[in-house]
Amino acid sequence: MFLWFDSPAEFHSCAERYKRSSAKIEKHLERLDSVLGYCNVCENVRTMKVSQIPVSQRTERVWINLREGFICECFATGRNRISVEAITESLGQGQNPRVLAIERLTHFYKVLYNRFMERLTGCEYLGGDRTPGGTYEFQGADVRHENLLALSFQDETFDLVFHGDVLEHVPDYRKALRECARVLRKGGVLVFTVPYFDIPAHIERARMNADGSILEILPAVYHGNPISEKGSLVFMQHGRPLLDDILDSGFVKAEIGFNYDPFQGFVSNNNPTPEGHMWPIVFRAWK
Ligand SMILES: [Zn+2]
């Protein structure tokens, strides 16, 4: 079960209470090749593999990323599992929602499709030369192109919108949040993950100029992207002001959901620095 917080300070005090135990648990996990755990995606006790590929991004020390590299036999990562848990907890019993996922070519899209079938719309950003709402053949699939800053959907189309680690790559994340609010019906819910750090201010890494060129404020960081080998540039590392940003974007309630449950593979990312450490959390916003 999630603990939901509508204040970053309350979330901070909760997370502080997990600091000592989580450090010991994760030190144990990072040394293992695999561990048995319950996966809520395939709904079974399965072997979860601990990726032994160390990363050194933004730190002096190499570290094992347990958010992306703690993977069930069904391919679900910790981020996938916690997203499924949050979506389930946020939908009413027996609800047959219309769902928009801002991904289409991922394994996680298939997980969502198995659950919502034709009620699910998936999309990817395929490039500025494509028409929003258009369908293009890409990597052997028919893929709908959408720009999160200007979605082609009518107002109030969906009951639930989901995006996973997208917001940090959008040049104007506030506009993206406003678009999510616009296409949700009143009472609908946005569930998303984003790298979020328990730090007092956002860290702006890059900015898009009016002419579309990129200003690099800090050394460029790229995350994996199924559409591009180069990956996606990180514009922003979000910190505590994010909940207020969500409320300013057309939502009536914004929450951080915290769920620390090592047996289900919900642990932190194991990053050793405060500006890189991420708890097992999701964001949820109600329109
Ligand atoms: Zn699984």
Cα 106 from Cα 259, distance rounded (Å): 24
Q: What is the pLDDT of residue 59?
A: 52
Q: Of all helices (H) and strands (E), which one includes residue 95?
A: none
Q: Cβ contacts of residue 30 below 8 Å, gap of 6+?
A: 50, 63, 64, 66, 270
Reported as a pLDDT band with limits 50, 70 and 90, residue 56 is low
Q: pTM of this prediction?
A: 0.94
pLDDT tops 90 at residue 57: no
Evaluate the CA torsion angle 165, 168, 169, 172 in order and state its sign. positive
Q: How far is the CA of 64 from the centre of ligand 1 (A)?
A: 20
| Residue 102 exposure: Cα atoms within 13 Å on the Cβ side | 30
Quick: pLDDT tens for 148-195. 999 999 999 999 999 999 999 999 999 999 999 999 999 999 999 999
What SS3 state is found at 284? strand
By percentage, how much of the chain surpasses pLDDT 70?
A: 97
Q: Ligand 1 mean position to 73 CA, how many Å?
A: 6
Pairing assessment for the beta strands 34-39 and 141-144 based on DSSP bridges:
unpaired
Question: What span, in angstroms and rounded, lies between the C-alpha atoms of 118 and 99?
Answer: 9
Question: For residue 68, how far is its CA from the centre of ligand 1 (angstroms)?
Answer: 14
Distance 46 CA to ligand 1 centre (A): 7
CA of 109 to the centre of ligand 1 (A): 14
- Can you tell me the distance from the alpha carbon of 33 to that of 207, in angstroms, rounded to the nearest whole number? 39
- 103 near 138, Cβ under 8 Å? no
What span, in angstroms and rounded, lies between the C-alpha atoms of 223 and 164?
Answer: 12
pLDDT at 62: 72
User: What's the CA gap between 157 and 244, in Å, rounded?
Assistant: 25
Indicate if the pLDDT at residue 60 is higher than 70: no
Domains of the chain: 3-286 (3.40.50)
pLDDT band at 53 (very low <50, low <70, confident <90, very high): low
* Cα 114 to averaged position of ligand 1 atoms, centre (Å): 14
**Res 25 pLDDT > 90:** yes
Question: How far is ligand 1, taken at its centre, from the CA of residue 194, in Å?
Answer: 22
Q: Which among 144, 106, 150, 102 has a CA at the least distance from the CA of 126?
A: 144
CA of 269 to the centre of ligand 1 (A): 18
Q: What is the sign of the dihedral through the CA atoms of 93, 251, 167 and 243?
A: negative
- pLDDT bin (cut points 50, 70, 90) of residue 275 is confident
- Hey, is 229 helix, strand or coil? strand
| Residues less than 5 Å from ion ligand 1, measured at CB | 39, 41-42, 72, 74, 76
Indicate if the pLDDT at residue 112 is higher than 60: yes
- The alpha carbon of 37 and the centre of ligand 1 are apart by a number of angstroms equal to 9
**What is the CA(47)–ligand 1 centre distance, in A?**
8
Instruction: Report the separation in Å between the CA atom of 185 and the middle of ligand 1, taken as the mean of its atom positions.
Output: 32
